[in-house]
Structure 1
Amino acid sequence: MSVSDDGIAGAKSSLSLVTNLSVIFLVVLWLIPTVGLLVSSFRDRDAISSSGWWNAPFATEQNFAAGAEGEFTQTPDGWVIEGNVFGEDGSGTVTAFGGRRAEPTAFQPGTTGELVRGRTLTMEANGDYRYVDPGEDAPRRNPTLYFGTQVPPSFSTDNYETILFSNGMDVAFINTLTVTIPATIIPILIAAFAAYALAWMDFPFRGTIIAVIVGLLVVPLQLALVPMLTFHNDIGIGQSFYGIWFAHTGFGLPLAIYLLRNYMVGLPRDIIESAKVDGATDFQVFTKIVLPLSFPALASFAIFQFLWTWNDLLVAKVFLPSNSDSWVMTVKIADDLLGSRGGDWGILAAAAFVSIAVPLIVFFTMQRYLVRGLLAGSVK
C-alpha cells in the first residue's frame, strides 16, 4: 500500500508543481509585452509599422516612395526618364513596384506596368526603372515611384537620443522629481499619524471616520479633479507645484491611512501597553515603537505612491501650468515629442523605458529596506 507524501513535514505538496507552473506562466505573461516594448524602442517607425517586434531579427518588406531624378528626354516612344530607385550605389532588391500611393506593389519586377493616360513604368529587381510619358509636351514635374524591398534588421539608439537629448527634457526631469518627492513624503507623514490615532487611540466617532476613509477609496479620481481645482483657485494656489502636491496628497491619503491603520492594528498589543505602563506618551509610543515596526508598510506605500506620481499624466495636466517650464516628463513626452510625431511608437517605447529607470531604482532600494524592516519587526 502506497502512502502519500501530502502533509508530511519536509515533503513537497502535490500542488507544488501546479503552483510553480502558474508562477512561470504569469512571469512569462508579463515578460512578453515588456520584451516587445524593449525591442520596439530600438526600431524605427517604418519597421514597427511593417512588422511585429517578434520579426525584428529578420528582414522585413517595406514600401517606399522615391522621386525620379534627372530630366526627361524625348524618344520615339515619348518622354522618358531613367534611373535607379536606390540611388547611385544601386544596393537593394525590388520585390514589387507601382505608380500610385494606393497600389505601391501592383507590379512584379521585370514587368511593364500600365499607368494612367498611357504612361508606363518598367522596374527591374536591381532598382533600374524606365518611365515613359507619351504626351506631346514634356512633363512639368518628375513622377513619384513606389516600390517594396526587403529591409535587413536594424537597431539603433535614435529613439533614446531623441528622448534624452530633447530640448527641455532636463527641466522636465527636475520638475518630475520636484513633484514626486514631496507628493510621496507628505501623505506618508500625515497618514502615519492618522493611522496610529485610528488604531490605538480611543476618541469619539473613530468608527465613523474609518468608514468615511474606506468610502473615499471608491471615489473616482476624475470626479474630484474639477472640484479640487476650483478649491485651489479659491485659496490662491491654482495651477502650481503646491496645488499638485496637495492633489496627490488628497488622492493618496485614503489608501495610505487604510493600509497603515490595518498594519498597525496587527502590532503586538503587549508591547504598546507595556510602554504606556512605563509612562510613555502616545507620541513616544508612536515614534519609538509603532513607527519602526511599521516600516514595511511605510516602505510599501512609498513605492506605490512614488510610482503613481512619477508616471502620472492626468493630474499633472490639470494641476500644473500649461507652459513648458512646468512640464513633467510625462507631459513633455505626450505634448511635445509624441504630439508632433503622431503615432511614433518607437519614441513612445523608448520613453517608457526612460521613465521607468528612476522608479526601478527606487523600488529595488526600498525593497532592501523593506526586507530589513520585516526582519526588525520579527524580533521585537
Structure 2
Amino acid sequence: MEGMAGQKSSLTWVVNISAFLLVLLWTIPTLGLFVSSFRDRDQISTSGWWQSFSGSEQTGFVRTGTADDQVERDGLYVIEGTALEGTQELTAWGTGARSPAEFAPGDTVEIDPGVNVTVAGDGTYQMTSAQPFEMTRGERIFTTTLSPPSFTTENYGRVLTAGGLGRAFMNTMTVTIPATVIPILIAAFAAYALAWMQFPGRALLTACVVGLLVVPLQVALIPLLRLHNELGIGKGYLGIWLAHTGFGLPLAVYLLRNYMVGLPREVIESARVDGATEFQIFRRIILPLSFPALASFAIFQFLWVWNDLLVATVFLGNTREQLVMTGLLRELMGSRGGEWEILATSAFISIAVPLLVFFAMQKYLVRGLLAGSVKGG
C-alpha cells in the first residue's frame, strides 16, 4: 500500500516538480537582473536580457554630408562618410522611416534624378551626382544593424562610487545584524521556557504568541513610534532594533518552541537527574541541538530586515546619513528613472549580501522549517 513506511508516495513527483518550478521562478528574475547589470542603457532599452548573448538588432539613421563636404572625382561630385559607429554589423539600410531595411548592403539607389547613394557592408556610404550638390542639410540614411554581445562593468563602477552608497551599506549592516541577533537570543530563552519548563499560564502565553503571528505590523508602526518618542528613544538605531525585535519575536518563538518540543526528552531528563540547572541544560544541550532552527530563523529575519523599507523609513529617517540600501535604491529610482542599467546594478548589489547568507545557511533551512514535525517522547 502507498504511504506505508518504506514506500514512496505517488505524490513524490508532484512535490519534486513543484519545488523545481519554485526554484525556477526565483532564479530566472535574479539571473535577468544580474545580466542586465552588465548591459548599457541602449541594450536594455532595445532588447531583453535573454537576447544579450546573441546580439541585438537596432534601427537608427544618420545624415550625410552637405554641399560643403563634396569633392569632385572623375567628373562626378562625391559625398562620403560612414553610417555606423563602433563594431555594429550592417544588415540592411533604407532612405525612409517607413522602410528602414528596404535595401541590402552594397545596393546603389537613386534617391533624386541623377543622385545615387551606395551603402557598403562596413557602413560607409557614397553619394554621387553629375551636377554639384547644393543642399545645406544632409540626406537621411536609415540603418538596421546587429550589435554583437557586449557587457561592461562600468555600471558597477558608477554605482559603487556614487555618493551615499557606502554609507547606506554600513547603515543597513548596522540595522540588520543586531536586529537579527537580538530576537534570536530572546526567542531562544522564551521558546525553551514554553517547551520544557512548567509554570502557570504557559499554554496561554503560547496561544498569545500564535495570535501575534497574524497581527500586521502596519497597525503598530505609528503607536510604537509615539511610544518611542514618549520614552525619549526617538528615531535612531535603538528604536529600529527594538521595532524589528518586536515584530520578529512571535515567529521566532513559535518556530523555536516547536523545534525544541521535538527534542529527545530522555536527554533532558537525564541531565536534570544529574543535577544540571535549567540554564546549563539550555546552554549545553538545547542550543547545540536547536542550531538548525536558529539558523532557519536567522535567514528569514536577516532577509526581512535587509530588504525592509517601511520600518526603516518610520524608525530611522530619510536623511542622506540615515538611508539604508532600500531607501537609496528608492532615491535612485526617483532621480534616475530612465537609467535602467543603474537601477539593475544597484538592485543586484543590494541583494548580493542576502544571497550569500541564504546560500551559506540553506542546508539548515529545510530542517528548521520541519520543526515540530517529529514529536518527542
TM-score normalised by L of structure 1: 0.73
Q: 1:106 to 1:93 in 2, by over 3 A?
A: closer
Q: Are 2:285 and 1:282 equivalent residues in the alignment?
A: no
Query: Secondary structure of 2:334's partner?
Result: coil
Q: 1:203 to 1:348 in 2, by over 3 A?
A: same
Checking the alignment, whether the CA contact within 8 Å between 1:313 and 1:331 is kept in structure 2 is yes
Residues in 2 aligned to 1:263 and 1:6: alpha-carbon distance in whole angstroms: 25
Q: 1:86 is matched with which residue?
A: 84
Alignment of 1:347-362 (within 5 A): 347-362=342-357
Query: Secondary structure of 2:312's partner?
Result: helix
Q: Are 2:330 and 1:334 equivalent residues in the alignment?
A: yes
Residues in 2 aligned to 1:298 and 1:353: alpha-carbon distance in whole angstroms: 27
Structure 2 counterpart of 1:93, one-letter code: L
Name which of 252, 257, 272 aligns with 1:256.
252
Q: 1:144 to 1:317 in 2, by over 3 A?
A: farther
Instruction: Compare 265-274 and 44-53 and name the one that shifted more.
Output: 265-274
Q: What is the CA deviation profile of residues 75-127 of structure 1, one whole-angstrom value per residue up to 9, with x for unaligned ones?
A: 9xxxxx9854436x89753745688xxx686674577899xxxxxxx895736
Q: What is the CA deviation profile of residues 259-302 of structure 1, one whole-angstrom value per residue up to 9, with x for unaligned ones?
A: 11111222223333333344433333322322222222111111
Percent identical pairs in the alignment equals 56
TM-score normalised by L of structure 2: 0.74
Structure 2 gaps, min length 5: 71-78, 128-134, 369-373
Query: Secondary structure of 1:149's partner?
Result: strand
Structure 1 gaps, min length 5: 76-80, 115-121, 131-137
Equivalences, count? 348
Residues in 1 aligned to 2:189 and 2:5: alpha-carbon distance in whole angstroms: 46
Cα shift at 1:213: 1.7
Checking the alignment, whether the CA contact within 8 Å between 1:97 and 1:105 is kept in structure 2 is yes
Checking the alignment, whether the CA contact within 8 Å between 1:47 and 1:62 is kept in structure 2 is no
Q: 1:54 is matched with which residue?
A: 50
Q: 1:265 to 1:143 in 2, by over 3 A?
A: farther
Q: What is the CA deviation profile of residues 153-205 of structure 1, one whole-angstrom value per residue up to 9, with x for unaligned ones?
A: 21112222223232332222222211111011111111111112222233333
Alignment of 1:5-154 (within 5 A): 23-64=19-60, 84-86=82-84, 93=90, 95=92, 108=102, 124=119, 126=123, 128=125, 148-154=144-150
Name which of 250, 256, 261 aligns with 1:265.
261
Q: What is the CA deviation profile of residues 9-54 of structure 1, one whole-angstrom value per residue up to 9, with x for unaligned ones?
A: 6x87766666655554544444333333322222222212222222
Q: What is the CA deviation profile of residues 217-251 of structure 1, one whole-angstrom value per residue up to 9, with x for unaligned ones?
A: 11223333222223223322222111221121111
Cα shift at 1:316: 2.0
Q: 2:371 is matched with which residue?
A: none
Q: Are 2:278 and 1:298 equivalent residues in the alignment?
A: no
Residues in 2 aligned to 1:368 and 1:90: alpha-carbon distance in whole angstroms: 46
Query: Secondary structure of 1:315's partner?
Result: helix
Residues in 1 aligned to 2:67 and 2:224: alpha-carbon distance in whole angstroms: 68
Structure 1 counterpart of 2:342, one-letter code: I
Residues in 2 aligned to 1:216 and 1:112: alpha-carbon distance in whole angstroms: 79
Q: 1:323 to 1:284 in 2, by over 3 A?
A: same
Structure 2 counterpart of 1:362, one-letter code: V
Name which of 152, 165, 177 aligns with 1:169.
165
Instruction: Compare 297-306 and 13-22 and name the one that shifted more.
Output: 13-22
Query: Secondary structure of 1:239's partner?
Result: coil
RMSD: 4.2
Cα shift at 1:64: 4.2
Cα shift at 1:256: 0.4
